[in-house]
Amino acid sequence: MQILVGLGNPGARYAGNRHNIGFMVLDALARRYRATPWRRRFQSEAAEAEIGEQRVLLLKPQTFMNESGRAVGEAARFYKSELSEITVFHDELDLADAKLRVKTGGGNAGHNGLRSISAHLGNDYRRVRLGIGHPGDKNLVQPYVLSDFFKGERGWVEDLVDACAEFAPLLVRGEEASFQNKVHLAMRAKGWEDERVANGK
């Protein structure tokens, strides 16, 4: 069973945070692919959907970010999923707003959700890095990721999340480069060039 994980913090107060863009992608996937209703399983909100002719588990850990690995590990053990079958959508400070990159393994760049998953499962799972930009000062990172997207940013956030959902069948089939390229082209077609994104803040 492939497991698509979105990282975020549970509860209404965090729903619009930059740190919760992973949850936003999972919600978009659930809508587009008519997933089963969300229910509490694996210390998460979980649903199943058919994406790219494959049945997948959608998982939003409810453990808070720093303990995401407990939830993902529980689901992976239940389904006997390999690391290669786990994809994690997460916010990425080291990418500009509205950018996306896919990679397998590598460092966690200080992301506590990834650190927790790697501690519980190992490092060689696939990550979909969703660029949220950097506040420019490492001392500002925590308040930045735990603040809501500005009104002027919501357009690109919605378009990026929707593009991830639209092209998810490529990702599920293992066509990471095609997925990344299609999302990039979709964002360019919407007019989200770097300068425009920056000006939207």
CA distance 26 to 86: 14
CA distance 82 to 125: 9
CA distance 178 to 112: 28
Known catalytic membership, residue 111: no
Q: Name residues whose C-beta falls within 8 Å of residue 163's C-beta, 6 or more positions apart in sequence.
A: 182, 183, 186, 187
According to DSSP, the residues that pair with 40 across neighbouring strands are 45
Q: Distance between alpha carbon 5 and the CA centroid of its chain, in Å?
A: 7
Active site residues: 19
